[in-house]
A = this chain, B = another copy of it.
Amino acid sequence: MPLRYDFASDNVAGAMPEAIEALVAANTGFAAGYGADHIGKRAADLIRQLLDADAVVRFVPSGTAANALTIAALAAPHEAVICHQDSHIATDETGAPGFFGAGVGLIKLGGGSGRIHPADLDAPLAMGDSGHHQSPAALSITNTTEYGALYTEAAVAALVGAAKAAGLKTHLDGARLANAAASGFDPASVAKLGFDVAVVGGTKAGGTPTEAIVLIDKALARRFDARMKHAGQLVSKGRFLAAPWIGMLETGAWVRRAAHANAMAKKLAASMPFPMLHPVESNGVFVEMDEPTLKRLQAEGWFVYRFIDGSVRFMCSWATTDEAVEELGAALQAIA
């Protein structure tokens, strides 16, 4: 019996038809390299529309790289970035921010379900400068969070406002911004909320490997292509990173299919026989499950695993089917 990866992550799915079709359509004729072609321009325009922002847009193949590269543009090596202790940059990038940022530090805050509490910003923002620690230069927020929780625009405004007031730059890890959008967070608010940089996720939303780096603070765009190539992130046949965005955004599939993923998570949650440890506000369901039970589930062929906080995580994606949710639901009932 082959393992079923359906719920292991939202990156185990392939690419949605709209993305693949646009990629295939982009594969005609010759085009300037390194993102300077008409496909890249069109995709950038669509991202700017989505975020309602006059920004410089670039595409890279990895979300880890998109985060680490932009963080390195916001904080010097002897400075730090404030983030949630369970954020992707803190837990799941194998130290990439420290590599791209030549030892840049992370100041890790707690907070339920991956959300930073505004009050927890007080201490790091009041640290003051010193030779003996890495003072904060930027704040990074992830929406939706690693636990599928949603920041509302008001919640983001409080955090970003406090950070900006203290002179920090701000970074949005939007690897799952499509899921946030489908749950009510307006992508067109990103620039207005004051983010200097946003990483907008294409891969988990249903693209082939592609993430959009959106430089809202256009001063950051100076020599950014050189920064990208220096860091191994400037792909020569850039059209293949840009094209999927055209398919996903022109058709509205980027948010529509994220809504489907979110709905699948709600459906799974509705019949979940295990205690849920985080609110189901997007495409993930996190449950409490003891080890023998998890082993039984895995023995049934479902590849899922224990997440950072000890919960067992079930992720839905654009490709998750009603049938799969029902099959998983039955398997869960059987072992509960």
Q: Which residues of A line the B interface, CB within 8 A?
A: 3-6, 8-9, 11-15, 20, 23-24, 26-34, 60-65, 68-69, 76-80, 91-105, 129-135, 203-204, 208-209, 222-223, 225-237, 239-241, 303, 319
Contacts and interface: CB of A to CB of B under 8 A. Distances in A.
A208 B96 contact: no
A5 B34 contact: no
B95 A129 contact: no
Given A6-B30, A78-B226, A134-B226, A99 B12 contact: no
Nearest to A91: B133
B131 A99 contact: no
B94 A99 contact: no
A235 B15 CA distance: 14
Nearest to A9: B33
Contacts of A131: 34, 94, 225-226, 228-229, 234
Contact of A64 (B79, B227, B234): B234
Contacts of A94: 78, 131-134, 226, 229-230, 234
B12 A31 contact: yes
Contacts of A31: 5, 12, 14
Query: Can you list the 5 inter-chain pairs with the closest CB atoms, starting with the nearest?
Result: A65-B232, A131-B225, A98-B103, A99-B103, A78-B230
